[in-house]
């Protein structure tokens, strides 16, 4: 599975590069971003919500979400005052959080199997509470005015999670849902890589990124400082794997695509997508050590 996931990343990245280079899909790229959000996220949200069996399952995902809120708070303090400050701070903080959907889910699944998939998907889905707030802030302060009817699409992952939780109230999730979550890992990896690369190379995101390095570095170090101790406290190996992969995550994919969608240009986001990959090898080695010790 590990090989399949990384091949999927490569295929998706090449597809995103081809789209950006060809340029023919650039005018409709915002439509493609929303279509991906609607279809992929809904499937993951419903299944993950359905598999929640009790509060204990949500404890560590809630802790990781709290780390995400702290990072956005730090980003707000580091963002100069302006009318766009709330939206820009949300975008900057989001660019420094662990990448749950397109890193934790496929890689934790590949390393720790179905238990890794479950905890990683739960982290991703619980984090939707914060994502929903940040999307609302980004839409409110967006340089490109957003139509009201698109709001339900942008918030569809959270809506789908509620549907999944309601399913869990009335019935236990079938065993096949765990297998589906596991085999969706390479699909999520490929689609996420394609959308990410296509968004990073979108004409609206071609900017000078070096001014954003300092803030990105501070936010990244804050993430590592908060999450590495949590990995040592984790009660199971799959949870520890997910936490260490979160500490040493690849860049978050959504900030670049949402920057395209809402019309933001931010050097911190640009620095993140170029430099954030340096942590991934550390996370892979540490996760491999945890699962084989």
Contact 186, 4 (CB under 8 A): yes
Q: 10 Å Cβ neighbour count for 237?
A: 17
Residue 285's pLDDT is what? 92
Q: 10 Å Cβ neighbour count for 121?
A: 31
Contact 13, 194 (CB under 8 A): yes
Query: Residue 144, by phi and psi: left (phi above 0), alpha (psi -120 to 50) or beta?
Result: beta
Contact 20, 197 (CB under 8 A): yes
Q: Which residues contact 31 (CB under 8 A, 6 or more apart)?
A: none
Give, for all 293 residues of the chain, the pLDDT tens digit. Answer: 567 777 877 887 787 777 777 666 666 676 767 777 777 767 777 776 776 665 556 788 889 999 999 999 999 999 988 888 898 999 999 999 998 877 888 788 888 887 887 788 788 878 877 888 888 898 888 888 877 777 777 777 777 777 887 887 777 777 777 777 667 767 777 877 787 787 777 777 777 888 999 999 999 999 999 999 999 998 888 899 999 999 999 988 888 888 888 888 899 999 998 899 999 999 999 998 888 76
Cα angle, residue 277 at apex, residues 141 and 130 outer, rounded to 5°: 35
Residue 54's pLDDT is what? 59
Rounded to the nearest 10 degrees, the angle between the axes of helix 156-170 and helix 29-50 is 20
Residue 52's pLDDT is what? 65
The full set of domains in the chain, from first to last, is 2-17+34-292 (1.20.1530)
Of 171, 177, 150, 153, nearest to 44 by C-alpha is: 177
By three-state DSSP, how is residue 11 classified? Answer: helix
């Amino acid at each position: 599975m590990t090989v399949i996931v990384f091949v999927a990343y490569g295929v998706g990245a090449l597809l995103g590069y081809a789209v950006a280079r060809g340029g023919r899909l650039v005018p409709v790229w915002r439509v493609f971003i929303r279509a991906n959000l609607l279809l992929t996220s809904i499937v993951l949200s419903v299944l993950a919500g359905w598999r929640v069996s009790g509060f204990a399952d949500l404890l560590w995902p809630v802790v990781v979400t709290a780390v995400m809120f702290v990072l956005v708070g730090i980003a707000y303090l580091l963002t100069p005052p302006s009318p766009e400050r709330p939206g820009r701070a949300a975008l900057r903080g989001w660019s420094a959080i662990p990448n749950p959907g397109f890193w934790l889910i496929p890689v934790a699944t590949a390393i720790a199997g179905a238990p890794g998939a479950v905890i990683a998907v739960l982290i991703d889905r619980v984090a939707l509470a914060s994502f929903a707030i940040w999307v609302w802030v980004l839409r409110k302060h967006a340089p490109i005015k957003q139509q009201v009817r698109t709001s339900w699409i942008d918030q569809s992952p959270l809506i789908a999670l509620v549907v999944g939780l309601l399913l869990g109230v009335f019935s236990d999730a079938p065993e096949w849902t765990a297998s589906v979550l596991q085999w969706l890992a390479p699909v999520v990896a490929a689609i996420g890589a394609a959308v990410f690369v296509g968004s990073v190379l979108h004409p609206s995101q071609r900017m000078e990124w070096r001014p954003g390095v300092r803030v990105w570095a501070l936010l990244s170090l804050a993430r590592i400082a908060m999450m590495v101790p949590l990995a040592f406290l984790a009660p199971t190996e799959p949870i520890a794997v997910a936490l260490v992969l979160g500490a040493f995550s690849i860049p978050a994919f959504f900030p670049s695509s949402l920057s395209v969608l809402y019309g933001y240009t931010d050097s911190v986001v640009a620095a993140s997508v170029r430099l954030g990959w340096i942590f991934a090898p550390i996370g892979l080695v540490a996760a491999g050590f945890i699962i084989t010790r």
